[in-house]
């Protein structure tokens, strides 16, 4: 990566901006609400639904970058919070969430090994987070779309359900990079492969606009990162159960 990309990448990674571990009062969210339209999809996570109805195991693999973790507080990052939220929603179902980090890799670099990764780990669901590095590096948009297409195709052929996650929202970096084309092309690929897209960018934008979180500050504390990740994990758990057409109440009655 060119030197000019490093400070921008640092700004995009909310979890990396951790000056001071104390939680400020303004960091505490009011409720993390997400509009219903951002948590629904016409696509179906069929393998997830079957795994849950069988009582598990539901093995989820998150493939992402630095924004999938919080250095020194991995248990507070959104994959761990996703696991906790799903276990709470689906008691009696064996649920395991693991993370495969691919820092500073483009979609093409990540896509090359996705099929082998699924064959080795055999997850029910792969949550693939991508797009940030491509936007920072100004990767040709057609190349980006082709890479995401190839990656999703490889995941499906290897036997996994897929959820795509786009980049984080940051009002400060929106003036430095142009994320719109990458976000739009991820949505196109999701529609073509009939896989759900978790619109992290739009969700975080909504939280910032509503005053739920102040994402404009140049320096974010660890407390804010933990709060955002907790909200993302809970929102993603709802997205997964909804797109698998799972009603937790029905499962409790059956058991």
Angle at which helices 222-243 and 78-89 cross, to 10°: 50
CA separation for the pair 62, 240 (Å, rounded): 13
Nearest 5°: phi and psi at 122? 55, 50
Q: List pLDDT tens digits, range 9-23.
A: 443 444 433 333 333
CATH of 5-254, one of 1.10.20.10, 3.40.50.1110, 3.40.50.300, 3.20.20.100: 3.40.50.1110
- Helix runs in the chain, H state only: 5-12, 46-53, 78-89, 107-111, 114-121, 132-136, 141-157, 180-193, 200-210, 222-243, 248-254
pLDDT over 70 percentage in the chain: 81
Q: What is the model's pTM?
A: 0.86
pLDDT band at 213 (very low <50, low <70, confident <90, very high): confident
pLDDT score for 216: 58
pLDDT, average across residues 168-189: 86
CA separation for the pair 60, 90 (Å, rounded): 14
pLDDT score for 31: 73
Domain boundaries, the chain: 5-254
């Amino acid at each position: 990566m060119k030197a000019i990309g490093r400070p921008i990448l640092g700004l995009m990674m909310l979890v990396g901006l951790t000056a001071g571990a104390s939680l400020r009062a303004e960091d505490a969210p009011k409720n993390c609400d997400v509009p219903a339209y951002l948590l629904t999809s016409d696509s179906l996570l069929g393998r997830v639904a079957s795994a849950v109805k069988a009582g598990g195991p539901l093995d989820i693999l998150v493939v992402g970058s630095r924004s999938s973790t919080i250095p020194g507080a991995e248990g507070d990052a959104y994959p761990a919070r996703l696991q906790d939220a799903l276990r709470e929603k689906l008691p009696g179902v064996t649920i395991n969430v693991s993370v495969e980090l691919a820092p500073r890799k483009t979609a093409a670099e990540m896509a090359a090994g996705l099929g082998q990764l699924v064959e080795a780990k055999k997850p029910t669901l792969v949550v693939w987070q991508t797009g940030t590095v491509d936007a920072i590096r100004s990767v040709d948009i057609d190349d980006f779309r082709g890479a995401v297409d190839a990656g999703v195709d490889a995941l499906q052929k290897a036997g996994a359900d897929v959820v795509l996650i786009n980049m984080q929202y940051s009002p400060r970096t929106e003036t430095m990079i142009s994320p719109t084309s990458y976000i739009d092309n991820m949505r196109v690929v999701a529609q073509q492969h009939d896989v759900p897209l978790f619109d992290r960018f739009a969700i975080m934008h909504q939280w910032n606009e509503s005053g739920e979180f102040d994402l404009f500050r140049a320096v974010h504390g660890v407390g804010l990162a933990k709060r955002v990740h907790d909200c993302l994990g809970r929102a993603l758990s709802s997205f997964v159960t909804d797109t698998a057409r799972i009603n937790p109440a029905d499962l409790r009655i059956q058991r």
